[in-house]
Structure 1
Amino acid sequence: MALREAASSGSSLLWPRLVLFGDSITQFSFQPGGWGAALADRLVRKCDVLNRGFSEENVKQHVPLDEFGANLESMVRYLQSVGVPAERVVLITPPPLWEAAWERECLAKGCRLNRRNTVVGEYASACVRVAQDCGADVLDLWALMQKDGQDFSAYLSDGLHLSPKGNAFVFSHLWPLLERKVAPLPWLLPYWQDVAEAKPELSLLGAGEH
């Protein structure tokens, strides 16, 4: 995800944007109780939270580990090239895989278990390395959800995607990383009691606008 400041232009009011990039876990984050929806609610009147997560975008649903790391780094470097510094970027690793539940999903679709939690861990480690190399923050869900050997099954709805409890877990750990990044953002548009009735445009667009 990346936070981009708004540019000022004449009397237009342009909102800063927090953009969420990812796959189905990101796409589903705007469902009721999702971590993306919680971010949008927390940041209302400060910035727009845009969901750009796309489910099943890869045809083969597999990217080799080296290619995954290279792709991720190229995305962060591209954001830097268009004015989004690394300190405004947060990378999020995949959560761990609950193999027993995901195997049941696979069997129901007529196929064998097609993922392993240890392999997911390799991709999570690659994500952490990219963040460190690029100077970005990282939320290592794979490690956090398994910390001290805890049972993480309740965080997943089908073994792969987040449950309501998993969404709450993500938000509770992601918000502290974001809070300091968005803290300088002002409250956009004044409270209704603070609007000058005679010339509301002065309150809404600023005294310096004409």
Structure 2
Amino acid sequence: MNGSNSKMISFPRIFLFGDSITQFAFETRGWGSIIAEKLVRKCDVLNRGLSGYNSTWGNIVLPQMISKNSSVENIVAFTIFFGANDCAIKEENPIQHVPLDEYVKNLKSMISYLKTVDVPENRVILITPPPLQESAWGKWCNGKGYKLNRTNSLAGDYAKACVQVASSCGTEVLDLWTLMQKDNQDYSCYLSDGLHLSVTGNEFVAANLWPLLEKKVSSLPIVLPYWADIDPLHPEATLLDTSYEFKTKI
């Protein structure tokens, strides 16, 4: 038997959808790569981060990312992480800026769309923009010939709106803006340039996102048997047995 007629293996999946903070999440020690490492042999973690995108553009392209024809039944979690570009000051960055009320509508629209393709609210996790360190980001902007085009206060307005959307829509939320500033701590260590995450920031996101994801993936078995559980004389009996219980951990 060569297994050509055996059933295809389908891995559960987690989608990470957002802007550059998501796109960069698979860099070395990025928050996405940390999550993926935790779920190896159990779940595929798919990075769908789009650098520079805001929630309006994300809302437009979401149906191209996922539909009822894309095996949505095995999606165990879907993170939506927009806001860092939306909150740009309109006068300084009109291309990426999205008004606060439109940002709210976009998040709700994405959640609503996911529900139509059988990804319910309880599998969705909204992530707020992190705080902005204005001195560092202002230095970056000056180096590019721009004026400061974001403020921490504005990032906070969008973060609060994101939390409110999660509450009204019944999704979970990771409020980075609040957590990173808890007890008035210095949050500069979490940011590499005032906006994007440092290694420490990526570790912080992964550590705080994991408890939300763990509830959704805790019952997932290891995909395919542990090597020591395979019958060396009759490997097909183990490897092609779809009822096999994966009791041995990697």
Taking structure 2 as the reference length, what is the TM-score of the superposition? 0.77
Residues 11-160 of structure 1: pairs in structure 2 closer than 5 A: 11-57=7-53, 60-160=95-195
Gaps of 5+ in 1: 1-9
Q: 1:201 to 1:74 in 2, by over 3 A?
A: farther
Task: Give the Å deviation of 1:104.
Answer: 0.2
Tell me the distance in 1 between the aligned counterparts of 2:221 and 2:31.
23
Q: 1:133 to 1:108 in 2, by over 3 A?
A: same
Task: Give the Å deviation of 1:89.
Answer: 1.2
Tell me the distance in 1 between the aligned counterparts of 2:237 and 2:167.
45
**Number of residue pairs matched by the alignment:** 200
The one-letter amino acid paired with 1:51 is N
Tell me the distance in 1 between the aligned counterparts of 2:189 and 2:224.
40
Tell me the distance in 2 between the aligned counterparts of 1:156 and 1:24.
13
Gaps of 5+ in 2: 1-5, 55-93, 245-250
Asked if the contact 2:18–2:53 (Cα under 8 Å) also holds between the matched residues in 1, the reply is no
Larger CA deviation: 61-70 vs 19-28? 61-70
Secondary structure of 2:47's counterpart equals strand
Task: Give the Å deviation of 1:204.
Answer: 2.2
- 1:92-149 deviations in whole A, cap 9, x for unaligned? 1010000000000000001110101111111101111111111111000000001111
Q: Is the counterpart of residue 190 in structure 1 residue 225 in structure 2?
A: yes
Tell me the distance in 1 between the aligned counterparts of 2:171 and 2:236.
39
Task: Give the Å deviation of 1:202.
Answer: 3.3
Tell me the distance in 1 between the aligned counterparts of 2:157 and 2:243.
54
Taking structure 1 as the reference length, what is the TM-score of the superposition? 0.91
